[in-house]
Amino acid sequence: MKNIISIPECKDCAIGSNSLFLHLTPEQLAVLNFDKGCDVYKRGNIIYHEGSRVNGVYCVNKGIVKLYKTGLEGREQIIRFAQKGEMIGYRSLLSGEHACHSAKVLEDAVLCYIPGEILFELLRKNSEFAIALLQFTCRELGEANSFITEIAQKTVRERLAEVLFILKSNFGIDNDGVLQISLTREELANMIGTATESVIRLLSEFKDDNLIEINGRKIKLLNQKLLKKTANIYD
């Protein structure tokens, strides 16, 4: 097995203007770097199950992780995807509750593990870090509230069109306009709370209307303006 990877440096994850780790001092970053664990996960691996107790948080260094709740009759509801630089499991750790969702690897991933005590220690010693995490959480809460409104008031058709834009803003599109994440029809359905068949039918309709182009799981956005109208988005 030539699967040995070099353990990523925390400071390499402290990228982007919104990284929480920017608020740590170099010393704290060094300590964190020393105390953390790191592992490789393959597609399909479960990192933790809904309902389990979480004793630390994971940082995504590479790959994509799907966070989902299991609802009625085992149907999964996707809460969000986490990618490079994002933390998962922090909600459960901080609230002291059991995990409110499961985490499953969607694209082969490298995750660092920060034990709970270390995180709490940092939060206690570095109030800027705590406030930054608070801000992050509040932003996520705002997104959740928006999503509630949308899922409650919009039609499936509108939600599907909208989710394409959400995926675009999270994972981007390449030069041809192709979404840089590939999801199964079922996963799309589980994001917007509908049946797989409905997603298939609606995607076909979008294609017929020249809003998108489909190539397997690759979705290309053709007419974003009209697609936004379909999604009932006006910004």
Partner DNA sequence: CGTGTGATTGACGCCTGTCAACGTCTGTGG
Partner DNA sequence: CCACAGACGTTGACAGGCGTCAATCACACG
30, 31, 94, 226: residue in contact with a second copy (rule CB under 8 A):
94
Q: Could you give the CA distance from residue 224 to residue 115 in angstroms, rounded to a whole number?
A: 43
- Using CB under 7 A as the binding rule, whether residue 190 contacts DNA is answered as no
**Widest CA span in the chain:** 57
Q: Of the two residues 114 and 203, which places its CB atom closer to DNA in the complex? A: 203
184 binds, among a second copy, DNA, none (CB under 5 to 8 A by kind): DNA
CA 142, 144, 147 angle in degrees (round to 5)? 110
12, 131, 209, 210: residue in contact with a second copy (rule CB under 8 A):
131
Q: Of the two residues 119 and 160, which places its CB atom closer to DNA in the complex? A: 160
In this structure, which amino acid lies at residue 140?
Answer: E
Cα–Cα separations (whole angstroms), residue 45 to 20, 38, 109, 229: 26, 15, 9, 38
Per DSSP, the chain holds a count of helices (H) and strands (E) of 9, 8
62, 154, 207, 228: residue in contact with a second copy (rule CB under 8 A):
154
Q: Of the two residues 15 and 214, which places its CB atom closer to DNA in the complex? A: 214
11 binds, among DNA, a second copy, none (CB under 5 to 8 A by kind): none
What number of other Cβ atoms are within 10 A of residue 14's Cβ? Answer: 16
- Using CB under 8 A as the binding rule, whether residue 18 contacts a second copy is answered as no
Q: How many residues bind DNA (CB under 7 A)?
A: 18
What number of other Cβ atoms are within 10 A of residue 53's Cβ? Answer: 11
- Using CB under 7 A as the binding rule, whether residue 184 contacts DNA is answered as yes
CB 92 within 8 A of CB 59: no
- Using CB under 8 A as the binding rule, whether residue 170 contacts a second copy is answered as no
Q: Of the two residues 61 and 230, which places its CB atom closer to DNA in the complex? A: 230
What DSSP state is assigned to residue 179?
A: B
Which structure tokens are listed for 14?
């402290």
Which stretch in 81-89, 96-104, 151-159, 167-175 sits in contact with DNA by CB under 7 A? 151-159
- Using CB under 8 A as the binding rule, whether residue 75 contacts a second copy is answered as yes
